[in-house]
Chains A and B, each alone.
Chain A
């Protein structure tokens, strides 16, 4: 594909379609031949497809740095040419999209490898190779769609990827559509998938409106064309509308208030999926969209402020919920929402580099945390399995009963896992410290840059800094709580005592991620600002912020205090089996609220879903069935039609039309009876009639 161009120029821009076609090829290969392949082979093919994508992304990054970060557009195919609308499938290679490509394909590849080990051990996986294959087919499809999203040169192409990753998300959340997390028969995962899809539809609707408005006003969907006409004729009302509609899409895809509710439920998917789609890549698409649309957001300050506030509120709100969660993945899910809030707040304030920086580091450490959590869950599963077999010899029924209620993801069942799973412990610690923002881990630098920007722009974006600082404090606190509960103290269950470490196929990718989580901050260290200079080529007006010891010191101190408090609460006096959370007493109903996610789901249920169901019921039963069907159709249409039919049948059809037909038939019959006597069978009379004709014709000729 465009290899000759590559050879001619020495750069690799022509290879960009391979970003999409490698994963597609891997997917097709697995779909066609996967049925006869072993698990390892399937996983290897999928990982190789993803890995090759990463290689292409690296080559693109190299080419881009060699050409001073100039924008390259690679035309692949004509797509829609209708009137004013001229859209092609064009790849956009600039510094921003390349960063996204690197993050997606890099983290994606590591997660692919990890998933080979993880999926094999999932309790619900019963050596069903077809299911195994399906998982990797979906993963590859996701990579392809994500690549379309980040490499699209127009809003519509971006939307294709946007919807594609939404579909993959739906498919993968409901991957175990027939079993719940405990391995029981249940459809709750499928419902979680539906919830994610519907919540995303609401957001996508906003995005669609944004696109329609864009096309209506600017007559194009191509990024450069839109931005250029927007900068020439800035119409604040229209641009505000576009950016606000777009914001709805962002809140859906990037799980911001108020549409974030799907993301915690999305943890129903397999853990690699949670890590890849619902922490590292797909959910950051909204952030990417805002950064990509930076020229529009720069034009309207009010919208930017709304974006920033939504991000900040989300960051704090989700962080409070995370404090009250017991499920290890739920904590991470709310943490993800919170961190996405940081990113959105950053890009809302115009700190695009900080947002992207945090996006990248977050992808590293959150993927690390999720995958480590998966490793912990599997370790617990192994311990449980070990115990169940141990008990099974003499008390089968009891073991069976035990199996049904045991939740391997519940932190209250864990404790002191540091001893059983040392590798995972250290990896998890690296992720935690990065997330908590402890110097010098990656999260410290990126979060600090966001806080710095929030502080610097405090007069334009009032309140954002305080919300974010509080969220950062809570982040450190809930992560500390998690660490103390999971890895320290006493084992609260027998299972925790028998937990086992994960195999290298899972831990090695984790180590790579841990390395990135520790040193990822090097991307944009104060002083070098490599990422800032890299993104300068694409995003206008970014500038390297000055490192502020004040901000950094405050946030570090806050984080340390939070960890200290968490140690006091959970580390000093470890939670005992069955003991209620020590926060419950001092905080009272506040903690109850945190525990129950502030009843947002219930609130949505009461405000939106139940009225909606009632309305649907009213529409279906009263309006459609009783009124429309029973009354209108039966009484009005049916009866009216019957009356009309009767009228048409009896007087009109029988009386007039049938009578005419009968009359015609009678006439024909009688005349034919008369006429048939003419054909009397006597040849002579036939001849006579010929003679009559002859005489008459001759007479006519004579008399003429």
Chain B
């Protein structure tokens, strides 16, 4: 329980840090930290494969991609011209209400179950692999196409614009 609370605090603080940081690079780094915390949660929840994937895909690939883009564009900070002044307080107020609603919802009900000591083989790579290639084979293949399309799309978007810029 204590571990959970400490980790939860770390996750919330890093998330807020991402939110508050003026510099996009800092935001990215806070987010990496947050993802790492979540990965620890996955381990606690008995999902080692997902935890590892979280670290490699999110913290590794995606965030590196983010940092590359930040550095590529060189706009880690924006000038301070907010033309939606009323948006920020309203958004914060609504967010607080939403969180309160969520907490009230969760605490007002009986517990939905407990996370006890996780069984070793529930989230094991072998079990996930079995399931992916049997029950979820078709969605799995669909994701491969999705990734291919995304790759092609990303390339087309950037290449085309490069051309347009030159001409």
> Measuring CB to CB, which residues of chain A are less than 8 angstroms from any residue of chain B?
682, 684-685, 688, 691-692, 694-695, 698-699, 702
Report whether A695 and B98 are in contact in the complex, using a CB–CB cutoff of 8 Å. Answer: yes
Residues of A within 8 A of B104 (CB): 702
Report whether B90 and A688 are in contact in the complex, using a CB–CB cutoff of 8 Å. Answer: yes
B97 on interface, CB distance cutoff 8 Å = yes
Complex alpha-carbon distance, A688 and B91, angstroms: 7
Report whether A685 and B97 are in contact in the complex, using a CB–CB cutoff of 8 Å. Answer: no
Question: Chain B nearest CB: distance from A215 CB in Å?
Answer: 84
Question: Chain A nearest CB: distance from B84 CB in Å?
Answer: 6
Report whether A682 and B84 are in contact in the complex, using a CB–CB cutoff of 8 Å. Answer: yes
Report whether B87 and A691 are in contact in the complex, using a CB–CB cutoff of 8 Å. Answer: no
Contact A688 B98, CB 8 Å, known A682-B84, A702-B104, A702-B105: no
B130 on interface, CB distance cutoff 8 Å = no
- CB closest residue in chain A, given B101: A698
- A-B interface contact total, Cβ < 8 Å: 30
Complex alpha-carbon distance, A702 and B91, angstroms: 21
Report whether B98 and A702 are in contact in the complex, using a CB–CB cutoff of 8 Å. Answer: no
B145 on interface, CB distance cutoff 8 Å = no
Some 18 contacts from A to B, beta carbons below 8 A apart, are A682-B84, A682-B87, A684-B87, A685-B84, A685-B87, A688-B90, A688-B91, A688-B94, A691-B91, A691-B94, A691-B95, A691-B98, A692-B94, A695-B94, A698-B98, A699-B97, A699-B101, A702-B104
Q: How large is the interface on B (under 10, 10 to 19, 20 to 34, 35 or more residues)?
A: 10 to 19
Complex alpha-carbon distance, A684 and B86, angstroms: 12
Complex alpha-carbon distance, A262 and B94, angstroms: 107
- CB closest residue in chain B, given A694: B98
Q: Is the interface of B mostly helix, strand, loop or mixed?
A: helix
Residues of B within 8 A of A699 (CB): 97, 101
Complex alpha-carbon distance, A702 and B101, angstroms: 8
Residues of A within 8 A of B98 (CB): 691, 694-695, 698
Report whether B101 and A695 are in contact in the complex, using a CB–CB cutoff of 8 Å. Answer: yes
Name the interface residues of B91-114: CB closer than 8 Å to any CB of A: 91, 94-95, 97-98, 101-102, 104-105
Residues of B within 8 A of A688 (CB): 87, 90-91, 94
Residues of B within 8 A of A684 (CB): 84, 87
Residues of A within 8 A of B91 (CB): 688, 691
Complex alpha-carbon distance, A620 and B79, angstroms: 94
Complex alpha-carbon distance, A618 and B97, angstroms: 95
Residues of A within 8 A of B90 (CB): 688
Complex alpha-carbon distance, A695 and B98, angstroms: 6
Question: Chain A nearest CB: distance from B151 CB in Å?
Answer: 26
Residues of A within 8 A of B101 (CB): 695, 698-699, 702
Residues of B within 8 A of A692 (CB): 94
Residues of B within 8 A of A682 (CB): 83-84, 87
Residues of B within 8 A of A685 (CB): 84, 87
Question: Chain B nearest CB: distance from A599 CB in Å?
Answer: 108
Residues of A within 8 A of B95 (CB): 691
Which of A684, A685, A694, A695 is packed against the most chain B CB atoms within 10 Å? A695
Complex alpha-carbon distance, A688 and B84, angstroms: 11
- CB closest residue in chain B, given A698: B101
Residues of A within 8 A of B87 (CB): 682, 684-685, 688
Residues of A within 8 A of B83 (CB): 682
Complex alpha-carbon distance, A702 and B102, angstroms: 10
Residues of A within 8 A of B102 (CB): 698
Complex alpha-carbon distance, A179 and B143, angstroms: 99
Complex alpha-carbon distance, A685 and B97, angstroms: 18
Contact A695 B84, CB 8 Å, known A688-B90, A688-B91: no
Residues of B within 8 A of A702 (CB): 101, 104-105
Residues of B within 8 A of A694 (CB): 98
Residues of B within 8 A of A698 (CB): 98, 101-102, 105
Report whether A695 and B97 are in contact in the complex, using a CB–CB cutoff of 8 Å. Answer: yes
Question: Chain A nearest CB: distance from B132 CB in Å?
Answer: 32
Complex alpha-carbon distance, A166 and B84, angstroms: 98
Question: Chain A nearest CB: distance from B103 CB in Å?
Answer: 11
Residues of A within 8 A of B105 (CB): 698, 702
Complex alpha-carbon distance, A699 and B97, angstroms: 9
- CB closest residue in chain A, given B93: A695
Interface 0/1 of B71-96, CB less than 8 Å to A:
00000000000011001001100110
Complex alpha-carbon distance, A702 and B83, angstroms: 34
Beyond A685-B84, A688-B91, A691-B95, 18 additional pairs, beta carbon < 8 A? A682-B83, A684-B84, A685-B87, A688-B90, A691-B94, A692-B94, A694-B98, A695-B94, A695-B98, A695-B101, A698-B98, A698-B101, A698-B102, A698-B105, A699-B97, A699-B101, A702-B101, A702-B105
- CB closest residue in chain A, given B97: A695
Complex alpha-carbon distance, A691 and B102, angstroms: 14
- CB closest residue in chain A, given B96: A695
- CB closest residue in chain B, given A701: B105
Question: Chain B nearest CB: distance from A692 CB in Å?
Answer: 6
Interface 0/1 of B117-156, CB less than 8 Å to A:
0000000000000000000000000000000000000000
Complex alpha-carbon distance, A694 and B97, angstroms: 11
Residues of A within 8 A of B94 (CB): 688, 691-692, 695
Return the 4 tightest CB-CB contacts between A and B, nearest first.
A698-B101, A695-B98, A691-B94, A695-B94
Question: Chain A nearest CB: distance from B105 CB in Å?
Answer: 6
Question: Chain B nearest CB: distance from A239 CB in Å?
Answer: 97
